Structure 1
């Protein structure tokens, strides 16, 4: 059973279609990437999933039942892109207050806060005020308050904004650990490199419409351009062949080859060997999610670095 399912969601603002007939489903324990450029409709989708907005059309199911914001919101943790911390309040008191709002007892909240503060090296922050924190420090605090009540669904909107590389890695590890323990995570961003490192499944939206849906592996396979990176003992002098064209001359005794229609990797290897090449590596080159994103959103070639084929 899916933990969350969106069915034909629509949301309009005056004449603008912020969300236009979007459907997707998320399995329990998965990290789901909700991707798109600014203004694509991601935040509106998240606000419908959390009950802040109601869809104009469509339905949201939570654990197989129609989503009930009054009942189900207690099992959701939402970290919005716009931060919602009380600037004059001390950090420890604020974390305790927000945890109790989520239904934890004071004892449960204190135990959870101490555990997370130790994990994220925040022990010395207890009496600091939010207004005295850097953006990255505020981000860590907001993350803690989002996951403290152990929600089944965790929604993170641009969670790495303001974090340095070290703290970004710390939060990534914690996201993976939460998923391993059974939490389902929606990760909303326009940073494709983060998605490749974290997500199991992705949905790409643009101008309110869903334009891509699948696992990261499936999406990359769908948009591959039959490119292979070949490493040689010494750079060969290749003869022209109908089997492949050289897409990139490369360096360090390596070439990127594009396999021509009607041929496969075995034909490439056989041709190279017949031409006297000594091969020590042969790897498929798949487009990055960033390249695919640019192709679908802007209409430019998916594998831009290999878009000019050298004959």
Structure 2
């Protein structure tokens, strides 16, 4: 039986030029390179310029993904931006990206699920592409998390960085089996009773200000390992695959200890796990496409590979999806 799948045909990413090392942070907050590495695995992160909004990062990542797919902005008919750091309260950052890319009038909107945003956005795009409502979708995860930092809080300010990653999704015909290219299955979750574990203490309808990121790190860690493993199992079941079938595991790059904890819980071969947290830190919704592009560029991930993506973020939201490139 022939089915239409949403196939990832191009991947691209972009990082701001400025690199902030752990030693740099030790100059402004009570921390050290050893302390940060031991607890997180992070060695450095990128930081956007003051005059470099999220849409700039998103647009450049989109351009690179389109080039990798062999597509022109004139062919784009859907733009979804996953971000928790939009340029403005409105319009959607996707609208600004549309203008900067120079695409025709199309569907464009943002998805807000914090670190889970890219997984959510890919799943949403699948609803358009697999049903014939979009033929060239650009899905972007773009964040400037350093804008939300309280630089006196060493438990959070050392964790985050800025960046963007994007994929192009196009319809492709398959046979309805796990051997098809494209998105094979996903699982999305949210538990709003855990909002107080990871949030920003501001907003237009509360304080009228942007606010700073706050996190109960130990509790987030515990929920992450258990909940992500469940979502991965559910996504694999929806895709009719097992975890053992997966060629590459591309997790949200939050913390090396979380990445290892999830991998151990699922019995994943550590050689199949893509980790870029040491050089990118936690870039929220951008972390998965950034890591995916890194592994494609260095030759590890190739066309035809079965890839598993997962993330958990504020909300608490979490989710996973399986796709064959």
Please confirm whether the aligned pair reaches a TM-score higher than 0.5, indicating the same fold.
no
Tell me: higher relative CO, structure 1 or 2? Use CA pairs within 8 A at least 6 residues apart. Answer: 2
Larger radius of gyration: 1
Question: What TM-score comes out, normalization by structure 1 length?
Answer: 0.26
Question: What TM-score comes out, normalization by structure 2 length?
Answer: 0.25
